[in-house]
Chains A and B, each alone.
Chain A
């Protein structure tokens, strides 16, 4: 599998959440993901980008960076913003916790559940970076040997 990458940035508009899902799914399809895994990637992406729109730039719009990479048969998705940051990361990871009304507080739970790895780096008033990594189950089972 060839290595590949994509870097884009876009304003924190709700309409761009759907756009980011389409881009990530199309990029991820270069690897041997099942339809179910691609669906999981779409949900995780949606949650990460939605968090930028809802939380990071809740008082004013800003720019979201999306960086995708395929390396060693593994997909990595980095979603970055320069918004308000997360005040209490442990609290934010608590299931059903949310600072916004009519939110289930499940965004981070879904991102952790649906990806192999998920890490968050955040500084108050400086922004947040979410890195999510996933490898196709089929390539894990074949010890990385691609047909």
Chain B
């Protein structure tokens, strides 16, 4: 998995390339938590799944964990470029109760 983090004011966009599972979720957690710790003003996490090839419940748990972090500062999480097989996992897991899917990155950033 390769992560690309880009901060723009209160928004942190995270591009996830590759597989988010048991092996890679600690890196995912640590990179984002470090960024959140260094930038207290971040209140919106946008996950870009364009290059994400696989997610299982370990990965979903890592995403939910980041929601809990950002929710503590009254922030929110969004998702863009969600392929159909990931959308189904998000629906089954209940993650869409806390994560909004937007049609584009530009829409998510509004």
Q: A14-B23, A50-B22, A53-B22 are in contact. Are A106 and B54 (CB under 8 A)?
A: no
CB of B23 within 8 A of CB of A17, answer yes
Most A CB contacts (10 A, CB to CB) among B22, B29, B61 go to: B22
Q: Measured between alpha carbons, how far is A110 from B56 in the docked complex, in Å?
A: 9
Asked if B79 CB lies within 8 Å of chain A CBs, one says: no
Please classify the interface of chain B as helix (H, G, I), strand (E, B), loop, or mixed, using the class held by over half of its residues: helix
Chain B hits for A53, CB < 8 A:
22
A-B contact list, 14 entries, CB within 8 Å:
A14-B22, A17-B22, A43-B56, A46-B22, A47-B57, A50-B58, A102-B61, A104-B57, A104-B60, A104-B61, A104-B93, A105-B57, A106-B93, A109-B92
Known pairs A14-B22, A18-B21, A104-B61; list 12 more (Cβ under 8 Å).
Answer: A21-B54, A36-B85, A46-B21, A46-B54, A50-B56, A54-B22, A102-B62, A102-B65, A105-B57, A110-B89, A110-B92, A113-B92
How many Å from the CB of B68 to the closest CB on chain A? 9
Query: What's the tally of chain A residues with a CB closer than 8 Å to chain B?
Result: 23
User: 5 closest pairs, A vs B, by CB?
Assistant: A14-B23, A46-B56, A106-B57, A102-B65, A104-B61
Label chain A's interface by main secondary structure. Answer: helix
Q: State in angstroms the CA–CA spacing of A46 and B101 once bound together.
A: 25
A90 at the interface (CB under 8 A from B): no
Residues of chain A within 8 A (CB-CB) of B65 are 102
**Does chain A have a CB within 8 A of B36?**
no
CA distance A14 to B59 in the complex (A): 13
Contact between B22 and A102 (Cβ–Cβ < 8 Å)? Answer: no
Closest chain B residue, CB of each to CB of A106: B57
A134 at the interface (CB under 8 A from B): no
The answer to the question of A2 belonging to the interface, with a C-beta cut-off of 8 Å to chain B, is no
